Amino acid sequence: MGLASAGKTTIFNALARAKVEVATFATPGGEPHRAVVHVPDARLDRLAALFKPKKVTPAEVRYVDVAGSLQSDGNPGQSAQLTGQLRNADALLLVVRAFASDVVPHPLGQVDPLRDLNILNEDLLLADLTVVEKRLERLEKDLRFASKAGPSEAIRERDVLARIKEGLEAGRPIRDLGLGDADLKLLRSYAFLTAKPLLVLFNTGDSDEGVADLIARAKASLPYAQTEVASLAGRLEMELAELEPAEAEEFKAALGIEELGLNRVIQISYRLLQLISFLTVGPDECRAWTIREGSTAVDAAGAIHTDLARGFIRAEVVDWEPLLAAGGWNEAKRQGIVRSEGKTYVVRDGDVINVLFSV
């Protein structure tokens, strides 16, 4: 999300490596564009080089290009539709214009990234506050007419919402309030926007002058949990993404770009969502699977197939790097570096796993 002409579609295109038409004006009301993006993973690439499988399947992140910001522009109907789209997301990526241009007008006149960031942030806080206030009013009324003590669920919800209201009014997003799992579960159906992890992405011009300072100031203004700030030269990255790989390499070398900003953004997205990858290897497929941080071996088995979770016996586990060094699965087993783990084993990022199960 972001203000009009901040470069949302440009960055989306760069991420998607797709060519959705970039319009100078946002088109509120239109269907949002969606893209499934592969998470760059050097571990998977290197394992695939060793196992030479028929198929290599990386982990994925889905991006949605929505139009416009919340209350700041557009009419109420559009902003309700937009809010609905945002509520469906697991995390929000806020695109903030930091590039100067004589040909692209800024909806507010001058380019001022920190002002825009502040506006967008306030929009998110306000959207949640409106929901909280409405619900609190309703709950207070219900509780007044209920029996003396009232149903404990309602009391509990009222207390959490009151705490959230206080936080939001002080400018604190819900993700920063340290709510426990039980409270978060209670709130899930609201899909609060400030409960979602937030990635602020400054869309810079081709030079990175002043960008480090901008990022530092944005971080200082948003010192909250699950909040990241980064920058990307949107147009440049989109142009690079549209080139043939060999040509892109040439350009990158000429411009002295080592790693695409884009890849960093995808990795940050993944990390913000508190996702990790475990890997499976073999002659048919090498694959990165997505699970939540803290998932167990059974959860991992279930990510592959429910049958594997149901019939789980144990998991053979080895770190990707020693496996690579050993030069193959059987070699790794012979060296005794493949461990046998039970149901409750907490999977780590980069574990290579073979699930043993009975049908």
Ligand X SMILES: Nc1nc2c(ncn2[C@@H]2O[C@H](COP(=O)(O)OP(=O)(O)O)[C@@H](O)[C@H]2O)c(=O)[nH]1
Residues that bind ligand X (CB under 6 A): 2, 4-10, 22-24, 26, 99, 101, 104, 203, 205, 233-235
Q: Name, in order, each residue with C-beta under 8 angstroms of 343's C-beta and a sequence gap of 6 or more.
A: 296, 297, 298, 312
Shortest Cβ 3–ligand X spacing (Å):
7
Closer to ligand X at the Cβ: 10 or 277?
A: 10
Nearer to ligand X, 119 or 233 (CB): 233
Residue 37 near residue 241 (C-beta atoms within 8 A) = no
C-beta closer to ligand X: residue 9 or 295: 9
Chosen from Mg ion, ligand X, none, partner binding at 184 (C-beta under 5 to 8 Å by type): none
Q: Tell the smallest beta-carbon distance from residue 266 to ligand X (Å).
A: 18
21/153 with CB nearer Mg ion: 21
- 234's contact among Mg ion, ligand X, none, with CB below 5 to 8 A by partner kind, is ligand X
| Unique residue bearing structure tokens 């709510």 | 179
CB of 228 to ligand X, least distance (A): 19
Report the nearest approach of ligand X to the CB of residue 313 (Å). Answer: 51
Residues forming contacts to Mg ion in the complex (CB under 5 A) are: 8-9, 26
Strand pairing partners for 38? 60
Give least dist CB 103 to ligand X, A. 7
Whole-angstrom distance, CA of residue 119 vs CA of residue 3: 9
d(CA 46, CA 43): 5
Alpha carbons 114 and 195: distance in angstroms, whole number: 22
Strands 351-357, 285-292: pairing kind = unpaired
What does 24 interact with, of ligand X, Mg ion, none (CB < 5 to 8 A by kind)? ligand X
Please state the closest distance from residue 11 (CB atom) to ligand X, in A. 7
Helical residues (DSSP H) of 146-283, grouped into ranges: 152-169, 181-187, 211-221, 234-242, 245-255, 261-272
Cβ proximity to ligand X, 27 vs 306, nearer residue: 27
Q: Which residues of 183-197 are buried (b: 16+ CB within 10 A; e: fewer)?
A: beebbeebbbbbbbb
Comparison of 4 and 47: residue with beta carbon closer to ligand X: 4
